[in-house]
């Protein structure tokens, strides 16, 4: 993908978007073709690290106890969920859904994963929020820090998906570099990127969509 073409499209998207009373995100939309997304193995479900951050750090929640919980809190976790909290959340689906929508990424101590899957899987799974396991005795801090600058790309069974690449006040070059990371990750998951990518657009939250390819 030509980085200059991406930069040009992002600049046009920002220039053509009206000023808003809030800081708009800048988004990329990728449309696929000739990919059978009814087959789970053809779907894309990835966390992509953006080298220049998202402009608005992602919120990370961690299922943990004891020392791992302490390290997660010190490492910047926005929410610590204890084993006891899992049972409480399972009893109140409304609260569980609110949590699932509020936090962008979830981590969990590996031994807690079966319990989370059984009790909270129906809430987290459909939203693509099932936790990433934390290896035993490891420090979750570096992973938390990385996820705060990451976005999730997820096709499910639809050929079009969106992802944030930053905010309107970021440099166009940095936004383009972030977009390039997402495009490269998508291309790496496709059998033939030239035949499987139908189009790519960029836009601000409420601005017009500008075609890249």
Last residue in a domain, options 147, 171, 196: 147
| Tokens 């495009």 found at | 183
- pLDDT for 157 equals 86
Query: Is the domain of 108 the same as that of 143?
Result: yes
Q: With beta carbons less than 8 A apart as the criterion, state whether 138 and 132 touch.
A: no
- CA angle at residue 40 from 39 to 44, to 5 degrees? 115
Query: Is the domain of 99 the same as that of 204?
Result: no
- pLDDT for 156 equals 85
Query: Is the domain of 110 the same as that of 170?
Result: no
Query: Is the domain of 124 the same as that of 170?
Result: no
What CATH number has the domain bearing residue 194? 3.30.190.20
Query: Is the domain of 69 the same as that of 98?
Result: yes
Domain housing 201: 3-55+149-211
Query: Is the domain of 130 the same as that of 153?
Result: no
Last residue in a domain, options 100, 130, 147: 147
Q: What are the average pLDDT values for consecutive 10-residue runs of the chain, which has 213 residues?
A: 92 96 97 94 94 95 96 97 96 96 97 97 96 92 97 92 96 98 96 95 97 95
DSSP-assigned beta bridge partners for residue 166:
26
Domains in the chain: how many in total? 2
Residues in CB range of 192: below 8 A, 6 or more apart:
34
Euclidean distance between CA atoms 189 and 171, whole angstroms? 28
- State both tokens at 88: 């409480």
Query: Is the domain of 137 the same as that of 154?
Result: no
Query: Is the domain of 137 the same as that of 160?
Result: no
Euclidean distance between CA atoms 5 and 211, whole angstroms? 10
- pLDDT for 54 equals 96
**22 class by beta-carbon count within 10 Å (0-12 exposed, 13-18 middle, 19+ buried):** exposed
pTM of the model: 0.91
| Tokens 């909290």 found at | 85
| Tokens 């966390």 found at | 47
Query: Is the domain of 141 the same as that of 161?
Result: no
Euclidean distance between CA atoms 22 and 18, whole angstroms? 11
Query: Is the domain of 184 the same as that of 204?
Result: yes
Q: With beta carbons less than 8 A apart as the criterion, state whether 47 and 151 touch.
A: yes
CB atoms within 10 A of CB 15: 10
- CA angle at residue 58 from 52 to 63, to 5 degrees? 135
What CATH number has the domain bearing residue 64? 3.40.50.790
């Amino acid at each position: 993908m030509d980085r200059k073409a991406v930069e040009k499209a992002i600049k046009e998207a920002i220039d053509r978007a009206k000023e808003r009373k809030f800081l708009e995100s800048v988004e990329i939309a990728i449309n696929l073709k000739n990919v059978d997304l009814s087959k789970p193995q053809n779907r894309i479900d990835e966390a992509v690290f953006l080298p220049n951050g998202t402009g608005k750090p992602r919120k990370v929640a961690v299922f943990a106890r004891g020392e791992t919980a302490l390290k997660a809190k010190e490492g910047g976790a926005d929410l610590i969920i204890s084993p006891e909290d899992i049972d409480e959340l399972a009893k109140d689906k409304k609260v569980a859904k609110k949590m699932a929508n509020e936090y962008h990424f979830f981590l969990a101590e590996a031994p807690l994963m079966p319990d989370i899957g059984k009790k909270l899987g129906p809430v987290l799974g459909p939203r693509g929020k099932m936790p990433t396991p934390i290896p035993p005795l490891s420090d979750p801090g570096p992973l938390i820090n990385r996820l705060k600058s990451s976005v999730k790309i997820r096709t499910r069974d639809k050929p079009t998906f969106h992802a944030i690449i930053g905010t309107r006040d970021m440099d166009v070059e940095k936004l383009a570099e972030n977009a390039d990371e997402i495009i490269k990750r998508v291309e790496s998951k496709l059998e033939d990127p030239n035949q499987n990518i139908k189009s790519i657009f960029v836009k601000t939250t409420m601005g017009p969509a500008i075609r890249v390819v």
